Homo-oligomer: A and B are copies of this chain.
Amino acid sequence: MKKFINTPATLLEDSLDGFARAHAGLVRLGEERRFIARAALSPGKVGLVSGGGSGHEPMHAGFIGHGMLDAACPGQVFTSPTPDQIVAAIEAVDTGAGVLLVVKNYEGDVMNFEMAAEITGSPIATVVTDDDVAVEASTWSTGRRGVAGTLVVEKILGAAAEQGRPLAALKELGDAVNRRTRSMGVALTSCTVPAAGTPTFQIGEDEMEMGVGIHGEPGRRRVKLASADAIAEELVETVLKDLDPAPGAPCLLLVNGFGGTPMIELYLMVQAAGRILDRHGVKVARYLTGNYVTSLEMAGCSISLAALDEEWLPLWDAPVETATLRWGR
């Protein structure tokens, strides 16, 4: 296992401490590292809390700040955060308007966020993301998995929350964005969970895992390595068929790296996907490209397409100031 690490047991705490150190003006680390939250809250705004297993960085901690999340709960690598972490985060960011939870559709996450919602006294609503079209159920999920599209949901909700929208309206918006967002990924290599010390799966030098999940869990099938154009073709066509965007709808294309794939390849995939979308007459109104929702050091990428409402474009464009996503004014 080749990683910058002291011991698997201290990886997460060292990494969280480093994150809090590097972004001291922006975030604070909760007691016992239960959560990371904005350094300064906006009173009266609905709190936005997400979280999940670690190993997907910069998601979710990198999305904390003005215009996006209020807090995130980091579980151990690929392990759900505990209900008490989530309760602590909820209580830290509820300034009176309640808290919206954004939860990726994995059984452990859904269960623990639900439990926290029952325990806390705060008004709670929950948006469960399930944008992955690759499989209908998996090792860790009943129904589709929540993957990179979660970023789109969190960004749009974050902007809407800053506008002062109430909890019920945000819940409705988050569900709508999730329904209009579809993703599919492919892995070229495995990742290695530090506590395990060996690769999550074995894969040949000429193979790739089509439809892989963000924990290295199986996708649709193991196939021979193909050209970037052929890979983009399968990902984009599958996503498009499932999404079925209305003609002329402004779409957002997110080419997301899984951690081990460099930008030169991700931008090549933007071009490969873009050519296919051009052919279909899909209007790509916004692009986002980078390693945002990762699987540790896995080489691979996912392609997400979101068919945005015209009303959502200003929310996507709205100012955001987090460790990772920053734009606007």
Residues of A within 8 A of B (CB): 2-6, 11-12, 14-19, 21-23, 54-55, 57-58, 62, 77, 188-189, 205, 208, 225, 227-229, 231, 259-272, 274, 287-289, 291, 294, 296-297, 299, 301, 321, 326-327, 329
Nearest B residue to A59 by beta-carbon distance? Answer: B263
Q: Taking A267-B19, A287-B23 as contacts, is the C-beta distance between A228 and B262 under 8 angstroms?
A: no
Contacts of A321 in B (CB 8 A): 327
15 further A-B contacts with Cβ under 8 Å, apart from A18-B267, A18-B271, A19-B270, are A2-B208, A6-B228, A14-B228, A15-B267, A17-B271, A18-B269, A21-B271, A22-B287, A259-B260, A259-B263, A260-B297, A260-B299, A262-B291, A262-B294, A329-B329
Contacts of A262 in B (CB 8 A): 55, 57, 259-260, 291, 294, 296-297
Query: Could you tell me if B14 and A271 are in contact, using CB atoms closer than 8 angstroms?
Result: yes
CB distance from A53 to the nearest CB of B (A): 11
Q: Taking A228-B5, A291-B291, A299-B2 as contacts, is the C-beta distance between A11 and B270 under 8 angstroms?
A: no
Main secondary structure, interface of A, reads mixed
Nearest B residue to A2 by beta-carbon distance? Answer: B188
Contacts of A327 in B (CB 8 A): 321, 326
CB distance from A228 to the nearest CB of B (A): 4
CB distance from A175 to the nearest CB of B (A): 28
| Bound CA span A211–B266, Å | 27
Nearest B residue to A22 by beta-carbon distance? Answer: B287
CB distance from A202 to the nearest CB of B (A): 14
Contacts of A11 in B (CB 8 A): 264, 268
Query: Could you tell me if A269 and B4 are in contact, using CB atoms closer than 8 angstroms?
Result: yes
Q: Interface centre among A4, A14, A301, A329, by most B CB within 10 Å?
A: A4
Choose from B21, B58, B227 the contact partner of A270 (Cβ within 8 Å).
Answer: B21
Contacts of A4 in B (CB 8 A): 188, 228, 231, 261, 265-266, 268-269, 272, 301
Query: Could you tell me if A5 and B268 are in contact, using CB atoms closer than 8 angstroms?
Result: yes
CB distance from A200 to the nearest CB of B (A): 14
| Bound CA span A22–B269, Å | 11
Choose from B6, B227, B259, B326 the contact partner of A6 (Cβ within 8 Å).
Answer: B227
CB distance from A89 to the nearest CB of B (A): 19
Nearest B residue to A297 by beta-carbon distance? Answer: B262
Contacts of A266 in B (CB 8 A): 4, 18
Query: Could you tell me if A271 and B15 are in contact, using CB atoms closer than 8 angstroms?
Result: yes
| Bound CA span A297–B264, Å | 9
Contacts of A263 in B (CB 8 A): 57-58, 62, 259, 291, 294
Contacts of A5 in B (CB 8 A): 227-228, 265, 268
Nearest B residue to A74 by beta-carbon distance? Answer: B264
Name 17 interchain pairs, CB-CB below 8 A, sorted by A.
Answer: A3-B188, A6-B229, A6-B268, A11-B268, A14-B271, A15-B264, A18-B274, A21-B271, A21-B287, A57-B263, A58-B263, A77-B264, A259-B260, A259-B262, A259-B263, A262-B297, A264-B296
Contacts of A274 in B (CB 8 A): 18, 21
| Bound CA span A327–B325, Å | 10
Contacts of A329 in B (CB 8 A): 329
